[in-house]
Amino acid sequence: MTSQPNFPPAVMTLAGSDPSGGAGIQADILTLASLGCHPLSVITAMTVQDTAGVSEVVVTDADLVNDQARYLLQDIPVSAFKVGILGSIENVAIVAQLATDYPEVPLILDPVLASGGGDEFADEDLIHAMRDMLIPHVTLLTPNSIEARRLAANDSDDEDTLTLDEAAQRLLALGCEAVLVTGTHENQREVVNILYSQDGTARSSHWERLPGSYHGSGCTLASAITALMATGMPLEEAVNDAQEYTYQTLLNAYRPGMGQYIPDRLFWARDAAEQEGQEGEGGDEREN
Return the HEC string of 239-255: HHHHHHHHHHHHHCCEC
Alpha-carbon distance 250 to 248, whole Å? 5
Whether residue 251 lies inside any domain: the answer is yes
* Number of domains forming the structure of the chain: 1
Whether residue 2 lies inside any domain: the answer is no
pTM of the model: 0.92
CB 12 within 8 A of CB 81: yes
CATH number of residue 14's parent domain: 3.40.1190.20
Whether residue 3 lies inside any domain: the answer is no
Helix (H, G, I), strand (E, B) or coil at 40: strand
Q: In degrees rounded to 5, what are phi and psi of residue 130?
A: -65, -45
> Could you read off the pLDDT tens digit of each residue along the chain, which spans 288 residues?
344 568 899 999 999 999 999 999 999 999 999 999 999 999 999 999 999 999 999 999 999 999 999 999 999 999 999 999 999 999 999 999 999 999 999 999 999 887 665 667 788 899 999 999 999 999 999 999 999 999 999 876 677 789 999 999 999 999 999 999 999 889 889 999 999 999 999 999 999 999 989 999 999 999 999 999 999 999 999 999 999 999 999 999 999 999 999 999 999 998 776 777 766 665 544 333
Whether residue 5 lies inside any domain: the answer is no
CB 213 within 8 A of CB 261: yes
| Structural domain range at position 220 | 10-287
60-90 b/e with 16+ CB inside 10 Å = b? bebeebbebbeeebeeeebbbbbbbbbbbbb
Helix (H) or strand (E) holding 207: strand 202-208
Whether residue 131 lies inside any domain: the answer is yes
Strand order in the sheet with 178-181: 54-59, 38-49, 10-17, 80-83, 107-109, 140-141, 178-181, 190-197, 202-208
CB 12 within 8 A of CB 72: yes
Whether residue 206 lies inside any domain: the answer is yes
Alpha-carbon distance 43 to 24, whole Å? 9
Whether residue 125 lies inside any domain: the answer is yes
Q: Distance of alpha carbon 121 from its chain centroid, rounded?
A: 15
Phi-psi region of 232 (alpha: psi -120 to 50; beta: other; left: phi over 0): left
Whether residue 117 lies inside any domain: the answer is yes
Alpha-carbon distance 233 to 226, whole Å? 10
DSSP-derived letter for residue 114 is B
Q: What is the pLDDT of residues 91-143, one digit of tens each?
A: 999 999 999 999 999 999 999 887 665 667 788 899 999 999 999 999 999 99
